[in-house]
Amino acid sequence: MQTVDPVSDEVSSNAPSETPSNVRSEAAKKIQKRDAWSRRIPLLPALIFLIAVTQIPFVLSIYYSLTEWTVNPPRPRTFEGVENYTFAFTDDFFRDAAWVTAKMTFWSVVLSVLFGLGMAMLLDRKFRGVGVVRTLVLTPFLVMPVVASLVWKTQMFDASFGMINWFTDQLGLEPYEFVSRRPLWSVIAVLVWQWTPFMMLILLAGLQSQSDSVLEAARVDGATKWGIFRQITLPHLRSYIELCALLGAIYLIQVFDHIVGLAGGVASTRNLPFFVYRTSIGGGWRFGEASAYSIIVVVITIIFATFGLRVLSGLLEGEDAA
Amino acid sequence: MAEVKFENASRIYPGSDEPAVDRLNIDIGDGELLVLVGPSGSGKSTALRMLAGLEWIDSGSVYINDKDVTLSPPQDRDIAMVFQNYALYPSMTVAQNMGFALKQQGIPKEQRTKQVREAARILDLEPYLDRKPKNLSGGQRQRVAMGRAIVRSPQVFLMDEPLSNLDAKLRVQTRTELADLQARLGVTTVYVTHDQVEALTMGHRVAVLNFGVLQQVDSPAILYSRPKNRFVAGFIGSPAMNLIDVDPGEDRHLRVADLDIPLAPEVAAALKTSGPGTHTVGLRPEHMSIGTEGIAGEVAVVEELGSESFVHVNTMHQGEPLLIEVRAEGQTKIQRGDHVNVAVRGPAHVFGPDGERVGD
Amino acid sequence: MSKSTDVADFGSNRFTGALLSGFTYLLGFMFFFPILWMVLNAFKTEADANGDPVFFFEPTLDQFRLVTEDIPGRASFSAVYTNSFTIVVVSTVIVMILAVPAAFALSVRPIAKWRDVLFFFISTKFLPVVAGILPVYIIGRELDLLNTRWSLIIMYTALNLPLAVWMLRSFFQEVPTELIEAARIDGASLRSQLTSVVLPIVAPGLAATGLLCFIFAWNEFFLSLQLNTSDAQTASVWVTGFESQREDFIAKLSAASTLVVLPVVLAGWVAQKRMIRGLAMGAIK
């Protein structure tokens, strides 16, 4: 007989020998069911809200993606099946946007994790003012992305009067038009500036959660500083780094503010979300196509996330005993 | 004040083949302190939690005062529990911790304060009533955990290794205080520990568990003098009983390294019909002595405790090396390397090929 | 915090230690510099702010005055700020009200399918808002919610809810199971377990989560731009209005930017330790 454990809600089968009387098993089943429901109820408000607000638009997107629906010039919406999807795979612009997304996400994540790790290591020491430095480094993460983009565009990167060019000018170098010549990298630079603090915080927590005794044992065993880092610290940080990368990717795939704020959405900076937006209410007015694109983005994200979440499952697995 | 009864109670964890607790049957009398003891994984904590309602009972039943509480949630069983890690509410003061359950029952504040004060008085906690757990020592926290339990005057006390987190000296001291308190309050108590010394000194009766199966439940004296099987024999008693495998052979005599072990008449009689196969002889260190006659051997290690000494003697038995531990009174002049003889001065226990006690 | 076995403690000699600290100060300064520069520019005249960088100048509050005064055709500063505050605070409160019980149901007394539910919560972030804006816009229009505060309150709640549930859940798991069991034996109802036992322990985590929701909602730009173009405009959209093709704008933009980033930066600084703990805890466990 299958029963649901009201303590852990796991399903089990009865021990082989004694079977309870009918009356008792009826009461037991009722208790188990009541308990299972009392557990679900706290979850329901959040769940229902989220389903309503996110799934209705999602289902609508799926529906629109199967139609041909353009608004400029306005034409009636007709059902087209998967034509939008097949078109997407041959569309150069779509492919370019996918490629930009890959580059932008990859480099922002990788660089901010690397710099974050470096800063974390520097801040994992005790010295006067370490709290102040940490506060200073934290701030870029708090700054509004549009503000960050505008400030960098007008005051840092600016070819004539920006601070970077002022600095290189002191060294005798020619001024460089960062945003016009390298728009994608300008975007990546600002993204890295803003996300390094986030990575740093997580990795700092990872560094400080190392076991003192393990580190001391390694020193007693004669390991060098570099050896300790490579063989003890890095493996310990592995799950933190993976988490950083996963969380960072989830947010960094969706970048929009910087693309618009820095380079005005110039072609070489258009990632997939931006491209989809442009195709729909951002100017293209081709709603059917845009919806198909957005569904494809979801599928791609699911694939990568399932990959990445298997990593997190490793982290979740350890809680099973709870 | 209540009687507690486990009736064929079993618990098998989902996904596991073996039950954690297998058809446990114990009757606990009113006011009794019953200790559940056993090694890790023996199911003792699980059994306690089944009584508490924190573990589901897959089959069988549990009764408190003849009332079937198998399906009742913890709050309806009128029990109080002391956890190994004390589980004190960190955001509440000692007084609030102790009064929490009473508050849940809707008891008015004046009455609550009175009961809390009374419990605090019994446990010498009055000066700490306004402190938070983080400002208490381990011993004080342990007493608050006790106070939280006694303030409710429940039918049954459940204690899950309540002394394990105390340092050795405090543990011994608190042990006696706890036993004394229980006797004074007269509340039926089920007490779990892995420490058999604690079990023997505190329990009116002790239930020994291994792998979820009840091995024996008896008074400490009987567990010591008449262990029902090999496991209980080796588990109860410190230092542990020497357990030596011997084949009684045709003549149904048990020889350890050439010494014919003297057996009580009923044991020798039972031995005649206990069947073929390897038996086990159990000899407690305190029932042997070092002298001029007996098993010949060489001293390997001497442990001097001041009040007594333990001598570990190497000898050969059935072609294999055998280490026998022998107790000596007071300090000893015996040294490592000495050649000595070990004689048997007390009862020898015999266990058959199935591990069960031979003879009554 | 730091141990004598610091990995980054290259050389036990004080010189390299000081060098490293100095280098760290420098990096900290460099990280902070763009923000510092922006705040400095807010106190300059347009003449000083545009053109070659000026390091010594006469500070003035003119820009702040210009930016906060009411000008027809531009949303007023007070209206915009109030909008942002209201939207962000209300949405954060709603998030917490929904997320706390949900996290409870996924950790302390978990439902059977907690893993699936957690995955669902995260999966709602798989469709970038930027890409999925069309149906949201259409629904907003149909429900007459465009250009109201509620449009953003609802959307921000949906955006922050997964993060909040995730973080709160890991805070809840810090609560020892024994404590909950003790409360059950003491007769506490589910609600009592939550309020008397769990919440006091996770209070710092609650603060950290609320702060993060505040940050993300306050800084949000895209949805505000799409859904609330005129009325109920938020600070993020308002500040972009200061970029101009016609005239020098850097000083004004800097002043507006300073005003707009101030709440979050201050909150982040003050609650820094909490937020760090929250990020680390929430992220890791």
Q: What is the pLDDT of residues A262-277, one digit of tens each?
A: 888 888 888 888 888 8
Angle of CA points A68, A71, A77, to nearest 5°: 35
Beta pairing, strands B279-283 & B349-351:
antiparallel
8 A C-beta contact, residue C46 and residue C251: yes
For residue A65, pLDDT beyond 50? yes
Neighbouring CB atoms inside 10 A of C141's CB total 12
Residues B209 and B23: their CA atoms lie apart, in Å, by 12
8 A C-beta contact, residue B234 and residue B241: yes
Residues B162 and B139: their CA atoms lie apart, in Å, by 11
pLDDT of res. C1: 39
Neighbouring CB atoms inside 10 A of B357's CB total 20
8 A C-beta contact, residue C199 and residue C221: no
What is the three-class DSSP state of B155? coil
Residues A136 and C269: their CA atoms lie apart, in Å, by 9
Contacts 24+ apart (CB under 8 A), A314-320: A314/A239, A315/A239, A315/A243, A315/C284, A315/C285, A316/C115, A316/C118, A319/C173, A319/C285
Torsion of CA B42, B47, B52, B54, to 10 degrees: 70
pLDDT of res. C278: 67
Average pLDDT taken over every residue of chain B = 91
List chains adjacent to chain B, taking adjacency as at least 3 C-beta pairs closer than 8 Å.
Answer: A, C
Among the listed ranges B174-178, B209-213, C277-281, which one has the minimum average pLDDT value? C277-281
pLDDT bin (cut points 50, 70, 90) of residue A314 is low
Side chain identity at residue B177, one-letter code? E
Instruction: Select from B12, B55, B70 the Cβ nearest to the Cβ of A7.
Output: B55
C-alpha distances (whole Å) from C261 to each of A194, A318, B65, C62 are 14, 40, 67, 19
pLDDT bin (cut points 50, 70, 90) of residue A15 is very low
pLDDT of res. A74: 66
Q: Is A167 on the interface with C (CB under 8 A)?
A: no
Residues A151 and A145: their CA atoms lie apart, in Å, by 10
Instruction: Select from B74, B80, B148 the Cβ nearest to the Cβ of C184.
Output: B74
Side chain identity at residue A222, one-letter code? G
Among the listed ranges B31-35, C194-198, C272-276, which one has the minimum average pLDDT value? C272-276
pLDDT of res. A238: 85
What is the three-class DSSP state of A294? helix
pLDDT of res. B243: 93
Beta pairing, strands B188-193 & B156-160:
parallel
Residues B83 and C95: their CA atoms lie apart, in Å, by 35
Residue A87 corresponds to which tokens in the numbers above?
A: 């078109």
What is the three-class DSSP state of B152? coil
Instruction: Select from B8, B10, B14 the Cβ nearest to the Cβ of A5.
Output: B14
Distance from CA of A43 to the nearest CA of C (A): 4
Using CA coordinates, name the residue in chain A closest to B73: A31
C-alpha distances (whole Å) from C90 to each of A284, C77, C152, C217 are 34, 20, 10, 11
8 A C-beta contact, residue C121 and residue C164: no
Our count of domains for chain C comes to 2
Distance from CA of B6 to the nearest CA of A (A): 14
3-state secondary structure A78-128: EECCCHHHHHHHHCHHHHHHHHHHHHHHHHHHHHHHHHHHHHHHHHCCCCC
C157 and C238 together in one domain: yes
Angle of CA points A71, A75, A78, to nearest 5°: 110
Q: What is the pLDDT of residues B284-316, one digit of tens each?
A: 999 999 988 888 999 999 999 999 999 999 999
Q: Which helix (H) or strand (E) holds B25?
A: strand B21-28
**Chain centre distance of CA A5:** 36
8 A C-beta contact, residue B189 and residue B4: no
pLDDT of res. B171: 92
In a domain, C45, yes or no: yes
Fold adopted by A91-279: MetI-like fold (1.10.3720)
Neighbouring CB atoms inside 10 A of A18's CB total 16
Beta pairing, strands B242-246 & B33-37:
unpaired
Which residues have CB under 8 Å from A37's CB, separation 6+? Answer: none
Chain C residues within an 8 Å CB radius of B105: 187
Side chain identity at residue C155, one-letter code? M
What is the three-class DSSP state of B244? strand
Last residue of a domain, one of C67, C85, C106: C67
CB pair distance less than 8 Å for A137 and C31: yes
CATH number at residue C267: 1.10.3720.10
> Which residue spans within B226-338 are E strands per DSSP?
242-246, 255-256, 259-260, 279-283, 288-291, 295-304, 308-317, 320-329
| Residues of the domain holding C61 | 14-67
Rg of chain B over all Cα atoms, to the nearest angstrom: 24
In a domain, C169, yes or no: yes
Query: In percent, how much of chain C has pLDDT > 90?
Result: 30
DSSP bridge partners of B282: B243, B349
Which of A4, A12, A39 should one mutate to test binding to chain B, selecting the residue with the greatest count of B CBs within 10 A? A12
Question: Mean pLDDT across the stretch C41-52?
Answer: 82
Distance from CA of B67 to the nearest CA of A (A): 14
Among the listed ranges A38-42, A318-322, C58-62, which one has the minimum average pLDDT value? A318-322
Chain C residues within an 8 Å CB radius of B87: 176, 178-179, 181-182
Which residues have CB under 8 Å from C86's CB, separation 6+? Answer: C149
CB pair distance less than 8 Å for C131 and A273: yes
Residue B79 corresponds to which tokens in the numbers above?
A: 């029990």
Residues A119 and C28: their CA atoms lie apart, in Å, by 9
Distance from CA of A297 to the nearest CA of C (A): 7
Rounded to 5 degrees, φ, ψ at B111 are -60, -40
C250 and C155 together in one domain: yes
In a domain, C9, yes or no: no
pLDDT of res. A300: 83
pLDDT of res. A17: 35
Q: Is B73 on the interface with C (CB under 8 A)?
A: yes
**Chain centre distance of CA C79:** 20
pLDDT of res. A10: 45
Q: What is the pLDDT of residues C67-99, one digit of tens each?
A: 888 887 778 888 899 999 999 999 999 999 999
C104 and C145 together in one domain: yes
Residues C193 and C215: their CA atoms lie apart, in Å, by 30
Residue B208 corresponds to which tokens in the numbers above?
A: 């020994």
Instruction: Select from A15, A24, A27 the Cβ nearest to the Cβ of B19.
Output: A15
Using CA coordinates, name the residue in chain B closest to C186: B101
Residues C219 and B61: their CA atoms lie apart, in Å, by 59
Q: Residue A12 carries which DSSP code?
A: E
8 A C-beta contact, residue A265 and residue A278: yes
Residue A303 corresponds to which tokens in the numbers above?
A: 């694939």
In a domain, C5, yes or no: no
Using CA coordinates, name the residue in chain B closest to A1: B58
Note the ipTM here: 0.85
Angle of CA points A252, A203, A245, to nearest 5°: 30
C150 and C229 together in one domain: yes
Q: What is the pLDDT of residues C121-133, one digit of tens each?
A: 988 888 888 878 8
In a domain, C44, yes or no: yes
C49 and C110 together in one domain: no
For residue B116, pLDDT beyond 50? yes
C136 and C265 together in one domain: yes
Chain B residues within an 8 Å CB radius of A15: 10-12, 19, 22-23, 58-59
DSSP bridge partners of B341: B291, B296
8 A C-beta contact, residue B81 and residue B52: yes
Distance from CA of C138 to the nearest CA of A (A): 9
Candidates B133, B195, B189, B190; CA nearest to B163 is B195
pTM of the model: 0.82
Candidates A209, A142, A304; CA nearest to C283 is A209
pLDDT of res. A11: 42
Chain B residues within an 8 Å CB radius of A10: 14-15
Q: What is the pLDDT of residues C220-272, one digit of tens each?
A: 999 998 888 777 888 999 998 888 888 888 888 999 999 999 999 998 888 88
Which of C177, C185, C191, C195 should one mutate to test binding to chain B, selecting the residue with the greatest count of B CBs within 10 A? C185
Candidates A300, A307, A199, A54; CA nearest to C161 is A54
Distance from CA of C207 to the nearest CA of A (A): 16
Which of A2, A5, A11, A29 should one mutate to test binding to chain B, selecting the residue with the greatest count of B CBs within 10 A? A5
Distance from CA of B85 to the nearest CA of C (A): 8
Q: Is B213 on the interface with A (CB under 8 A)?
A: no
CB pair distance less than 8 Å for A31 and B10: no
Candidates C110, C129, C141; CA nearest to C216 is C129
Which residues have CB under 8 Å from A267's CB, separation 6+? Answer: A96
Residues B45 and C177: their CA atoms lie apart, in Å, by 15
Instruction: Select from A61, A126, A205 the Cβ nearest to the Cβ of C2.
Output: A126
pLDDT of res. A125: 84
C236 and C171 together in one domain: yes
